[in-house]
Structure 1
Amino acid sequence: MAQTNWTNLATAHAGGIAVELRRYDLPAPVEMVVRETQPVVSMMLPPYPIQRFGRYEGAGGDYRGLGNIVFTPAAADCQFRGDGGQPLTISCLFDADLFDRVTRIGDGWSRCRLAATLDVGGTAGGAIDSLLRRMAEELRTPGFATETLVEGLGLAALAELSRFLHADGPAEPRRTGQLSAVQLRRLDEYVDAFPRRAPTIGTLAGLLDMSPRRLTTLFRDTTGLTVRAWVEAKRMEQARRLLTDTDLPLKAIAYDLGFANQGVFSTAFRRVAGLAPSTYRDRYR
C-alpha cells in the first residue's frame, strides 16, 4: 500500500485546534492506510477526484464511497482507495482532550458510527462545509486576528461534528407524497460525488429504490423543480466554484463536469448565469 504523503501549504494553530491546507502526492490509482495522530475532519477542495472509497480496518464491511467531508478518529486505521493524483484538502485537527470533552464519545466507536465518518453529510455537513471553506480562505490570505478566527470556526465545526456523530436516533418523518430529507441528501451527495457523469433519472430513482416516474413526481412535489433542472443547477454551482476557486482552464472544467466540449459548457453556463464563464471568473474570483 502507498504511503500517505502530503505537503502543508499553510497552517494555523489556536486553542487546541490546528488547520492545515494539504496537498497530497499519491500514485494513480492509490490504495493506502491512513492513521492520524489527532481527530481530523477534512474536506476536499477542487479539483475533485472522481472516485474515492474507504473502510476501517478491523471494522468489517466493504469499501464505501467517500463524501466530500470525512472525519478520521485518532489512531484508527482507515483504508482508502481511489484515483490518486494531487488532491487538495482543508483539514481541521483537534486536541484529543478538547475533542473528548465536546463530543463525549469516549470509546463508543461502534461499526455504524465509524461507517458514518466516511461521509459527513446532511445539515452538519453543510455547516462544516461553509466553516472549512472560510478557514481555507483565511489560510490562503490571512488577516488580522487569524488565530481567533480559526479557533472560533474550529469550535463551531467541532460542535456540528458532535451533533452528526450523535445523530443515531430514528429518521425524521416526511410528509406524505414527498421525499424525506434523508432521500434528498442521498441524491445531493451522489451528484456531488460524480460530477463528470450527469446522472439519468433512472440512476437517481434506483438510489432510492423507486421507479423513475415516482421519483419525478415526488421530487417536483417536494422541491418545486424537475429532476433535470435540479441536476443542471447542481452542475452550474459546481462550475461556479471551479471558476472562482481554481485556475483550471475552461476546457478542463467542461470535462470535469461532463460536458461534451467547452462550447457546450459555455452555452449552458451563460444561459444560467447570464455571463460567459471567462467573464464570471474575472468578475467574481
Structure 2
Amino acid sequence: MSIRPYDAARHAEGTRLDFIFPQEFETSLEAAKATVGARFEVRRFFWRERNEIVFTPPCSYFELTHFPSVGRYLASACDFCEQGEVRFYPAARPFQMHWQEREQRSLFCRIDIPAITGLPMELSDQQLRDTIDMRNPHVRALLLRAQQELVAPGLCSQLVLDSISVGLAAEMVQQFGPETQAEFTSRRTFDQRYLAGLVAHIREQPGRVEIGQLAAERGISVRHYERLFRAATGESPAAFCRRHMLALAKDLLMDRSLLVKEIAYRCGFANTASFSVAFRQMEGCSPQQFRDRLLIH
C-alpha cells in the first residue's frame, strides 16, 4: 500500500490524539511521546470496585497489555470475546468491557491512520471482531519496540517511534482491506484518462518509457506501481507498453516506404531480431509476413 507523508494540517482538523480519559478511568501516566500521526503512552490504571465500562474512543488507538478482560462492540451482533494481548479500538465505536483485576499497566498508541497513510480506514463487523484480539505478529513487535523506547529512551528514540507509528498504520491498512485499498488507489491512479495519456506517450516516444519514472511521477515504488497497474488493467506495465509499441509497428508497416529495420528502431527495439520475435508472439507471423498480407488484401 502507498504511504504518503504525514499531513499535519489534515491531522489538526481531524482526530484528536490528546484526549483525556474519562473520570471512570483512574489512571497515572508513566511515560509518553508524540510522534508522526500518533502518541505513545505507558499508563497504569486503578479500577477499585469497578469491573465493567462502556466507552466510545474519540480517536483510534492500540493497546498492548497482559490485563485479562472480555469485550464487545455495541453496534455488532457478536457476543463478548476474550481480549488478547494486542487490541485495537477504532474511533467512535462504542465498546463494552468486563474484567476482574484491580490494577492494569498498558502501552497505548493513539493513532490517526488516515492522516498517516492518506487512505480511509473502514472496518466491517468481522474486522471489528478481529481487533479485539489482534494476532498480527508485526503489530505486536512494533508495539513492544515502542514500549522499550518509552521506558528506556535511546539516542534516536524520536526517529524510532516515528517509524513505528508509520509501520503500525501501514500494517493496519495491509491487514484490514488490502484489496479494497488497492482498488481505491488504482481507480484514482490508473483511470482511462491516465491510460490514454500513457498510450500517447508510448506512441510518441516508443522504447523510452521507463517504469521507474512512471512510478516516481505517481509518488510510489516500482513494485507498488506494477501491482496497482495490473489490478487496474489486467496486465503488467511492461506488457501494456509492449502491446502498444507493437500496435504502432502495425500502423507503420502499412507504409511500404519504411524498412522493417527502420520500424523496429522507431518502435524502441534494439534490433530487427528482437522486434521480429516480439511481433510474432503477438501476431503469429513476422513483420514482413504481416506487411505482405496487407498487400494481398
Identity %: 20
Structure 2 residue 150 is matched with structure 1 residue 133: no
- Would you say the 8 A contact 1:4–1:34 is kept in 2? no
1:27 to 43, 48, 53: 48
Provide the residue aligned with 1:82 in structure 2: 99
Structure 2 residue 117 is matched with structure 1 residue 117: no
Provide the residue aligned with 2:31 in structure 1: 10
TM-score norm. by structure 1 comes to 0.51
| Pairwise CA distance, 1:61 | 2.3
Please give the alpha-carbon distance, in whole angstroms, between the structure 2 residues aligned to 1:109 and 1:153. 22
Please give the alpha-carbon distance, in whole angstroms, between the structure 1 residues aligned to 2:34 and 2:101. 28
Q: Which runs of 5+ in 1 are unaligned?
A: 170-285
For 1:91-170, list aligned pairs within 5 A: 91-95=108-112, 97-98=114-115, 101-102=118-119, 104-105=120-121, 108-121=122-135, 125-166=136-177
SS in 1 for 2:103: coil
| Pairwise CA distance, 1:74 | 0.9
SS in 2 for 1:144: coil
Please give the alpha-carbon distance, in whole angstroms, between the structure 2 residues aligned to 1:57 and 1:109. 14
Q: Could you say what the CA RMSD is over the residues aligned between the two structures, in angstroms? A: 2.5
- Would you say the 8 A contact 1:29–1:81 is kept in 2? no
Please give the alpha-carbon distance, in whole angstroms, between the structure 1 residues aligned to 2:113 and 2:62. 13
SS in 1 for 2:127: helix
Please give the alpha-carbon distance, in whole angstroms, between the structure 1 residues aligned to 2:76 and 2:46. 27
Please give the alpha-carbon distance, in whole angstroms, between the structure 2 residues aligned to 1:151 and 1:40. 15
Please give the alpha-carbon distance, in whole angstroms, between the structure 1 residues aligned to 2:76 and 2:116. 22
Alignment coverage as a number of residue pairs: 159
CA 1:36–1:100 in structure 2 vs 1: closer, same or farther (change >3 Å)? farther
CA 1:90–1:3 in structure 2 vs 1: closer, same or farther (change >3 Å)? same
- Would you say the 8 A contact 2:123–2:176 is kept in 1? no
Provide the residue aligned with 1:66 in structure 2: 83
TM-score norm. by structure 2 comes to 0.49
Please give the alpha-carbon distance, in whole angstroms, between the structure 2 residues aligned to 1:96 and 1:131. 15
| Pairwise CA distance, 1:17 | 1.4
Instruction: State the Cα deviation string for residues 124-179 of structure 1 (Å, max 9, x = none).
Output: x211111111111111111223221111011112212222222799xxxxxxxxxx
Please give the alpha-carbon distance, in whole angstroms, between the structure 2 residues aligned to 1:163 and 1:110. 15
CA 1:5–1:167 in structure 2 vs 1: closer, same or farther (change >3 Å)? farther
Question: Which amino acid in 2 is paired with 1:163?
Answer: Q
Greater Rg by CA: 2
Please give the alpha-carbon distance, in whole angstroms, between the structure 1 residues aligned to 2:105 and 2:83. 15
Question: Which amino acid in 2 is paired with 1:33?
Answer: V
| Pairwise CA distance, 1:99 | 5.4
Question: Which amino acid in 2 is paired with 1:134?
Answer: R
CA 1:147–1:56 in structure 2 vs 1: closer, same or farther (change >3 Å)? same
SS in 1 for 2:128: helix
Question: Which amino acid in 2 is paired with 1:34?
Answer: F
| Pairwise CA distance, 1:31 | 0.6
Please give the alpha-carbon distance, in whole angstroms, between the structure 1 residues aligned to 2:64 and 2:144. 9
For 1:162-241, list aligned pairs within 5 A: 162-166=173-177
Question: Which amino acid in 1 is paired with 2:149?
Answer: E
SS in 1 for 2:75: coil
Please give the alpha-carbon distance, in whole angstroms, between the structure 2 residues aligned to 1:157 and 1:42. 12
CA 1:90–1:69 in structure 2 vs 1: closer, same or farther (change >3 Å)? same
| Pairwise CA distance, 1:84 | 3.0
